[in-house]
Amino acid sequence: EVQLLESEGGLVQPGGSLRLSCAASGFTFSSYAMNWVRQAPGKGLEWVSGIRISGSRTYYADSVKGRFTISRDDSKSTLYLQVSSLRVDDTAVYYCARALVGATLHAFDMWGPGTMVTVST
């Protein structure tokens, strides 16, 4: 089955860290750029980060630059997002999303079910 599946998120204290992973199956993971998109409770979608094929380039929203790191392991068909220096406003459902063939940032044709990250004391 063609799918993306994020790891379990969790409750983290402000200033804390967490590593999210996204396991891909059913398609050639190494042939696609990948992204993370988040959605705060009751709010809209926010692009967080993207990574090109082979990890040659990485991109970040200003709101997470310097705090989050995206990476990929094509041998494991897995995407990662290391989130650090977490703030309360980072609380959101985090989705991994596959970019269209030939694209990196502008259209996402497959999404995982999402994982909830809650930043709170």
Partner 1 sequence: QSALTQPPSASGSPGQSVTISCTGTSSDVGTYNFVSWYQQHPGKAPKLMIYEVSKRPSGVPDRFSGSKSGNTASLTVSGLQAEDETDYYCSSYAGSNNLVFGGGTKLTVL
* Binding region for partner 1 (CB under 8 A): 37, 44-47, 50, 57, 59, 61-62, 95, 100, 105-109, 111-114
Residue number, 47 or 80, with CB nearest to partner 1: 47
Residue number, 13 or 40, with CB nearest to partner 1: 40
Residue number, 19 or 106, with CB nearest to partner 1: 106
SS3 letters across 3-68? EEEECCCEEECCCCCEEEEEEEECCCHHHCCEEEEEECCCCCEEEEEEECHHHCCEEECCCCCCCE
Half-sphere exposure of 117 (CA within 13 A, CB side): 29
Closest approach of partner 1 to the CB of residue 76, in Å:
22
Closest approach of partner 1 to the CB of residue 118, in Å:
16
